[in-house]
Amino acid sequence: MTNTRELIDDFLAQERLALVGVSHNPTDFSRTVFRDLIRHGYEMVPVNPNLTEVDGHRCFARMQDITPPVDGALLMTPPAQSEQVVRDCHAAGITRVWLHRGAGTGAVSPEAVDFCHQHGLSVIEGYCPYMFLDDTAAFHRVHRLFFKLTGRYPAARVRQAVR
């Protein structure tokens, strides 16, 4: 069985990602995440049914509309919307889903997680991508350290040597 850290490493190894729930507000946290992931070398695709573009990038209304398709979807949606978005990911053939959580509930909902498990989607249930990226702001490094100190930071699986 794949552990959370393997899912995170696999997700972050992809090149083209959607950010679902990106805000119209340029100072919103979702917009900061969007810009920072671009700065980290990702080809980001914004998804919001109420926008046509975000920071000069064409914005799509839903996952099924994205062309060419993305390798994964980072959801920064309210939990009540997450199940429909993971259903849209499944319909679009997207198999990697990250339900963002920083403070509060984030995008995680039991229904969205259950749908992912039942339909074979790789799902990261919570966490903030900043905790796993190099060259992040001090606040995110402190957040990562806090999770490590409290045992909530997912460790990579140690592989046993084969004799």
| pLDDT for 122 | 97
Our CA dihedral for 23, 27, 30, 35, rounded to 10 degrees, sits at: 110
For residue 161, pLDDT over 50 is answered with no
pTM for this model (two decimals): 0.89
**pLDDT tens digit string along 5-25?**
899 999 999 999 999 999 999
Q: What is the pLDDT of residue 155?
A: 75
Is the CATH code 2.60.40.1120 the one for domain 4-149? no
- The rounded distance, in Å, linking the Cα atoms of 117 and 123 is 8
CB atoms < 10 A from the CB of 111, how many? 14
Q: Which residue, 14, 79, 69, is CA-closest to 47?
A: 69
> Beta-carbon neighbour count of residue 118 at 10 Å?
9
Comparing C-alpha atoms, which of 123, 131, 80 is closest to residue 102? 131
Sequence-distant (6+) residues with CB within 8 A of 105 are 79
Q: What is the spatial distance between Cα 74 and Cα 152, in angstroms, rounded to a whole number?
A: 20
Q: With contact defined as beta carbons under 8 Å apart, do 92 and 71 qualify? A: no
Tens digit of each residue's pLDDT (9 = 90 or more) over 80-120: 999 999 999 999 999 999 999 876 779 999 999 999 999 99
Supply the pLDDT for residue 138.
67
Residue range 41-93, pLDDT digits in tens? 999 999 999 999 999 999 999 999 999 999 999 999 999 999 999 999 999 99
pLDDT band at 139 (very low <50, low <70, confident <90, very high): low
